[in-house]
Amino acid sequence: MRRTVRTLADGRQIIYFDTSLIPERHAFDTRSLSIAATRSDVRFDPLLGEWVVLAAHRQTRTHLPTADLCPLCPSAPDRATEIPESDYEVVTFENRFPAFAGSCEVVCFTSDHDAAFVDLELDRVKLVVDVWADRTAALSARDGVAQVFCFENHGAEIGVTLTHPHGQIYGYPFVTPRAEKISANTARYASERGRSLVADLIDDERQAGSRVVSESAHWVAFVPAAARWPFEVQFFPLRRVADIPDLDDEQRADFAHLYLDVLRRFVRIVDDSVPYVAAWNQAPRDRRNDWWLHLQLFSVRRAEGKLKYLAGSESGMGVFISDTTPEDVATRLRALG
């Protein structure tokens, strides 16, 4: 993998990641841009013990532009975009409308505006995994970053504002509520039983088999027994690692194959356009020793033409009420293989 680091017109960093032997990248950003202003605020909720980000400046971010105005497509002679080059494989750059001051990057998976992650070739998915690893390592080393979150939002119903295939990477200045809960529960389990909660969870799911969607040499994908979302799959490496950079090359290649296979089933479980969130759960910076990397894949679609709304119980009390059963979802996903 070759990395080419360049600078955009307003001083933000852009990095091209290539596997093919292409000429060195030298295109410059010809736009006239003012320095992007980030007016976000991070506030602490003392009742819940959680952080909340206020980012009112994002109200003015680009919203569902037509293909000819997409800022994530390569630049053309008559139109300059966020990516100065005329083509690219995978590229990352600092978000012009970040959720908070600090580390918020965009990851473009392909220059093809009309593609989706499920359309990528296996080698391209492996390159994306390597890019996630590269950026996770870089952001984790920055002062003030407590946890790195790589994710993809796919589909208008999820809230995507740009349809070009892309994801994002956040370098949170705090440990997220989900990671706090997982850390507390795994620590308690280890103290009480002297074993790893995640290792036992993986063993139990593999032995039961009813919720396992697919398994490979290095990974297992299953619908969690207490799934919150109508359609949800979790991916765990069989050997514990703390984050994506810890995955060796075999684990990364094996994940690319398994994930692409399961994702192609997942997006067809209701119709041909199921929206989803793919969310990596990586170790917070100070909790690497007992963390087990995993990926959540879930959808807000509960049936054709119907969404799972987070209504009274979910939004008010944080208690999810599922519209499906995990065993049925796993059976349906296996059947789509």
Q: What is the pLDDT of residues 172-190, one digit of tens each?
A: 999 999 999 999 999 999 9
pLDDT at residue 60 greater than cutoff 70: no
Q: Which residues contact 207 (CB under 8 A, 6 or more apart)?
A: none
| Radius of gyration of the chain, Cα coordinates, nearest whole angstrom | 20
What percent of the chain has a predicted confidence (pLDDT) above 70? Answer: 98
The pLDDT value recorded for residue 34 is 86
What residues contact 319, with CB distance under 8 A and at least 6 apart?
Answer: 313
Domain count along the chain: 2
Residue that terminates a domain, selected from 141, 172, 203: 172
pLDDT for the residue 36: 72
Of 150, 172, 194, at which residue does a domain stop? 172
Alpha carbons within 13 A on the beta-carbon side of 292: 20
Contact indicator for 89, 124 with CB cutoff of 8 Å:
yes
Clarify whether residues 118 and 154 are in a common domain.
yes
Asked whether the CA dihedral 281, 3, 21, 70 is positive or negative, the reply is: positive
> Could you tell me if 199 and 279 lie in one domain?
yes
Average of pLDDT values for 126-134?
A: 98
For residues 103 and 223, state if they share a domain. no
Instruction: Kindly state whether residues 164 and 207 are assigned to the same domain.
Output: no
Retrieve residue 261's tokens: 């296979």
- pLDDT of residue 59 exceeding 80, the answer is no
Question: What 3-state DSSP class applies to 256?
Answer: helix
- Annotated catalytic, 166? yes
End-of-domain residue from the set 172, 200, 218: 172
**For 2-11, 56-65, 73-82, which range has the lowest pLDDT when averaged over its residues?**
56-65
Q: What is the mean pLDDT of residues 71-93?
A: 97
**pLDDT over 90 at 20, yes or no:** no
- The pTM of the whole model exceeds 0.75: yes
Catalytic residue among 164, 166, 218, 294: 166
Cβ(99)–Cβ(40) below 8 Å = yes
Q: Is the dihedral of CA 147, 91, 279, 315 positive or negative?
A: positive
Eight-class DSSP state of 24: P
Which 3-state string (H, E, C) describes 161-207?
A: CCCCCEEEEEEECCCCHHHHHHHHHHHHHHHHHCCCHHHHHHHHHHH
For 269-300, what is each residue's pLDDT tens digit? 998 889 999 999 999 999 999 999 999 999 99
Is the pLDDT reported for residue 22 higher than 90?
no
Distance CA 175, CA 95 (A): 21
> Could you tell me if 22 and 79 lie in one domain?
yes
The one-letter code for the residue type at 106 is: V
pLDDT above 80 for 141: yes
Residue 39 has pLDDT above 70, yes or no: yes
Distance CA 151, CA 27 (A): 28
End-to-end CA distance of the chain: give it in Å, rounded: 31
Can you read off the two tokens belonging to residue 22? 């292409």
Same-domain status, 181 and 47: no
What's the whole-number average pLDDT of the chain? Answer: 95
Instruction: Phi first, then psi: give them for residue 129, nearest 5 degrees.
Output: -60, -45
Could you list the beta-strand ranges (E) of the chain.
Answer: 2-7, 13-18, 41-45, 50-54, 90-94, 103-108, 147-154, 166-172, 212-215, 219-222, 231-237, 276-281, 294-299, 301-303, 306-307
Q: In terms of domains, do 157 and 277 share one?
A: no
Contact 131, 5 (CB under 8 A): no
Residue 221's pLDDT is what? 98
CA-wise closest residue to 108 among 89, 134, 130: 89
Interior/surface letters 81-107, b for 16+ CB within 10 angstroms, e for the rest: bbbbbeebbbbbbbbbbbbbbbbbbbb
30 and 164 housed in the same domain: yes
**Structural domain range at position 221:** 177-335
pLDDT value for 263 = 98
Query: Which tops the pLDDT comparison, 97 or 279?
Result: 279
Element (H, E) at 132: helix 122-140
Distance (Å, whole) CA 32 – CA 74: 17
In terms of domains, do 193 and 315 share one?
Answer: yes
pLDDT above 80: residue 304: yes
Instruction: Tell me how far apart the alpha carbons of residues 168 and 96 are, in angstroms, rounded to a whole number.
Output: 12
**For residue 55, what pLDDT is reported?**
84
| CATH code assigned at 13 | 3.30.428.10
Token code pair at residue 41: 């605020």
* Domain identity same for 22 and 84: yes
> Shortest CA distance to 162 belongs to which of 297, 63, 30?
63
Do 223 and 312 lie in a common domain? yes
Same domain, 79 and 183: no
